[in-house]
Amino acid sequence: MQNQTAAPSLTKAAETKRTWRQFKKQDPAEAERLRLQQNEHKRISRARQKLARQGLKQPSPRRLRAVTPDADPSHSQGAGSSSGNAAGSEEPPAKRHRAAICNEGPVHLAPRSSSDVAPDTGGPPDISEGQSVAGPSDLAPDHATLLVSPPAQSRLFSHISVATDPPPLTCDVEVMTEFPYTDPSHSQNDPTVPSTLLIPPINAKDLATDIIGVKVSAHSETVKWSSGFTTVLPCIWKDGSNICQEDADTVRYFSELPESDPERSLYVVHINHSDWISRTAELRDVISQTLREGKCIVIRAVERPQVAPLDLDYLEDQGFSQFMRVSIHDVEKRTKDYTHPQVDGTIEDFLRNLHNQNCIQFILDLPQLDHGIVHGWNQTTTDYPIQDLVHPDNFLLNGWSLLHQPAVLTNFHHDSDGGVTFVQSVLGKKKWIPAFPRNPNISRTKFTELSLLLTNLLANRTEIEANWYMEVVTLQEGDLFIQPPGQYHAAYTPTESFAKGAHCLNLEFLHHSELSRYIDAKKGHFLTNQVHEHSLETLERMVIYLPRASCRTKLFTRPLIALCTMVIDSHKYVAVGANKKKTLRNTTKPALVISRAIIKYFWKDVETAISVYRFGLDKRRRSQSLMHPGDLIDRKELAICLKPFTEF
């Protein structure tokens, strides 16, 4: 009769707990905490199931089963005892233990270690239907009060002993705490309602557990990176095998590379944004010098990390319509056709597959707004008004966004058209892997040859390691990474991600832009991931800007020669696959005249200028460093050269 009255009470308790959870989920931060807590319980449950499948003994839980008030030491003999709070008991299960007191008085114990509790070798006692059994969440909190009872054995604790020294004494241990109610309607494998008594520790570097079997294939393997992060490996499971095994092997190789060290890295400069907030001019100089020399820079915590789901509402807030047409890169299609992995679709189509465990997709170049824009276009339209059709890439590709599903590998490439690249992780983390030539004092022909090695990392691993240096930069939410034009890099996105980026042209880095565009013209199909056709128009306007350039704008020998030659010999820099038809614009003629005037004034002719560009002033040298910007241009001399172009 008592049990019949207890049943509605238990149902009411379960309903109350469900109502409480729904109320808590109204707060996004609390909902996220509950989600992480539940995922941790799932992880614990999966680990125990794995041990069970392997035939290994699971560690005994640290929290002990509750003893009902009517527990009688005389009934504790044998695991199969049916006495106590059985089905026919008059008393319902008690919520709180009663402390067992020794005849001699309370005994104070030292803090219990894991070795203090002996595992049960005889199997658990029979538990009746009315009793609650400790589940995965029933682990003893550190603040639980431990008391010692007389040596008489308890029915539920006959297999537990605690040794005190001296003298050795075996006592029953009881824990005074409350046990959460477990809804019997849930199966044993379902995640239980997390106990409010214990919040499991969450490993911030574990990026795999929460998404396996949820957002990525349950067959996905994991790997631990040198930085301590654990991520999934790319996996699309088809016909009993992983069709992305080559991607998985590549990511595994990347995980073994060294993490970029702020103190020792020779190629990546690390900066904390908070240290430079009041020194923006100095920061700009540091960035310029770093990129001029062909190095990269990462600025930590430029923005406060966001906590938000990557869904339609979020993207709408960023200005993207669900109906926007996009080119979606599909990894499964890439395994069949590496050079053309795109499929047409919309933002809505991409989001529909976001949690498809057997689909890996990403979107590049979602347009959003450099010396190219600031100087090249903004400050020349009065002297040379826009009279021709302008390619939209001139404006759309200076700011863009990236959308990635989990486990996307982007193989080594450089970004086309010779722009500086900025990328900032907004939601989710990224592993950025830049590659630097170990010997920059080589010819551009040799550099192109070595670049092709990067197109097949696993097959050319030995040669790549001999000629290229690679390290991993982990981009956290809010971090900004800036790389010079033509920088070879790979990337791995272990979780769903939204990132912002930009390309821009800069008068100080145009020697890198020229080399990048030269390679695009020779091997663009293999070494870039997206082709654009707009650079020449912007370069022409950057030349037109020079007669009125600010005295603060730094100009160096090699970038200036690069700018002039890219305008004079523009046909040599058309990317593979781009439109080779030459179009004359109203800016073409003045840009050519100014470029030729600069070349003639400083270097007499184009051939001499190219020789200085490739070998430096000393022609006996085999080649000049591809990364070196050369000497500063004398601005007074440049002003004399360009004076005719400043007259109205």
Least confident segment among 66-70, 213-217, 337-341, 528-532:
66-70
Instruction: Give yes or no: residues 416 and 518 share one domain.
Output: yes
**Does 332 have pLDDT greater than 70?**
yes
In this structure, are 112 and 6 located in the same domain?
yes
Q: Is the pLDDT confidence value at 61 over 60?
A: no
Main-chain dihedrals φ then ψ at residue 636, nearest 5 degrees: -65, -40
Percent of the chain with pLDDT over 70: 66
Select the more confidently predicted residue: 222 or 353: 222
CATH number of 450's domain: 2.60.120.650
CA 470 – CA 473 distance, rounded (Å): 10
Q: What are the angstrom distances between the C-alpha of 48 and each of 35, 59, 114, 223, 627?
A: 20, 9, 18, 20, 55
Say if CB 326 and CB 346 are below 8 A apart: yes
Average pLDDT over residues 365-377: 51
- Which helix H or strand E contains 561, and what residues bound it? helix 557-568
| pLDDT tens digits along 182-234 | 444 444 444 444 444 344 455 789 999 999 999 999 999 999 999 999 999 99
- Domain residues for the domain of 512 are 255-527
Amino acid at 268: V
How far, in Å, CA of 2 to CA of 87, rounded?
10
**Domain finish residue from 481, 498, 527:** 527
Domain endpoint, select from 472, 493, 527? 527
pLDDT tens for residues 475-508? Answer: 999 999 999 999 999 999 999 999 998 888 899 9
The chain-wide mean pLDDT, for the chain, equals 75
Q: Are 135 and 276 members of one domain?
A: no
Residue 54 is assigned to a structural domain of this protein: yes
| pLDDT score, position 218 | 94
Q: What is the pLDDT of residue 54?
A: 67
Residue 201 lies in a domain: no
* Residues 6 and 130 both lie in one domain: yes
The answer as to whether 405 is a domain residue is: yes
Q: Are strands 399-404 and 497-504 parallel, antiparallel or unpaired?
A: antiparallel
Whether the per-residue pLDDT at 607 is higher than 90: the answer is yes
Structure tokens, 16: 């109350």
Mean pLDDT of 408-422: 90
* Nearest one of 304, 284, 303, 286 to 295, comparing CA atoms: 286
Read off the pLDDT of residues 436-455 as tens digits, 9 standing for 90 and up.
999 999 999 999 999 999 99
Given its phi and psi angles, is residue 365 left (phi above 0), alpha (psi -120 to 50 degrees) or beta? left
Same domain, yes or no, for 380 and 263? yes
Q: What pLDDT, on a 0 to 100 scale, did the predictor assign at position 393? A: 54
Alpha helices in 303-404 (DSSP H): 312-317, 331-334, 347-352, 393-396
**Confidence category of residue 623, pLDDT binned at 50, 70, 90:** low
240 found inside a domain: no
Same domain, 76 and 169: yes
Both tokens of 512, joined, read 């890198």
261 and 407, same domain (yes or no): yes
Backbone angles phi, psi at 44, to 5 degrees: -60, -45
Establish if 630 belongs to a structural domain.
Answer: no
* Cα distance between residue 60 and residue 62, in whole Å: 6
Q: 407 and 299, same structural domain?
A: yes
Q: Is the pLDDT of residue 319 over 70?
A: yes
456's tokens: 């097949």
Residue whose tokens read 């049990």: 3
**Claim: this prediction has a pTM higher than 0.85:** no
Give the pLDDT score at 35: 79
pLDDT tens digits, 525-564: 655 544 445 578 889 989 999 999 988 889 999 999 999 9
Q: How many CA atoms lie within 13 A of 274 on its CB side?
A: 3
Does residue 643 form part of some domain?
no
Residue 401 falls inside a structural domain: yes
Res 624: pLDDT: 77
CA 340/CA 548 separation, integer angstroms:
43
Into how many domains does the chain fold?
A: 2
- My answer on whether 413 and 507 are in the same domain is yes
Residues 393, 287, single domain; the answer is: yes
Mark whether 147 and 262 lie in a shared domain.
no
Asked if residue 162 and residue 72 are part of one domain, the reply reads yes
Q: What angle do CA 530, 533, 534 make, to 5 degrees?
A: 120
Q: Does 432 reside within a domain?
A: yes
What pLDDT score was predicted for residue 521? 86
* Backbone phi, psi, residue 263, to 5°: -90, -30
Cα torsion 351, 353, 356, 362: sign:
negative
Q: Dihedral of CA 635/637/638/640: which sign?
A: positive
Q: Which of 150, 176, 202 is the last residue of a domain?
A: 176
pLDDT in tens, 289-315: 999 999 999 999 998 887 788 888 888
Q: Tokens 């699309």, residue? A: 236
Top pLDDT among 45 and 145 is at 45
Question: Residue 612 contacts by C-beta under 8 Å, 6 or more apart in sequence?
Answer: 557, 561, 603, 630
The string of pLDDT tens digits covering residues 71-87 is 444 444 444 444 444 44
Mark residue 220 as left, alpha or beta (left: phi above 0; alpha: psi -120 to 50; beta: remaining).
beta
Judged against a pLDDT cut of 70, whether residue 350 lies above it is answered with: yes
- Find tokens 């919309």 and name the residue: 346
Q: Which of 172-176, 266-270, 400-404 has the lowest mean pLDDT?
A: 172-176
pLDDT at 41 over 70: yes
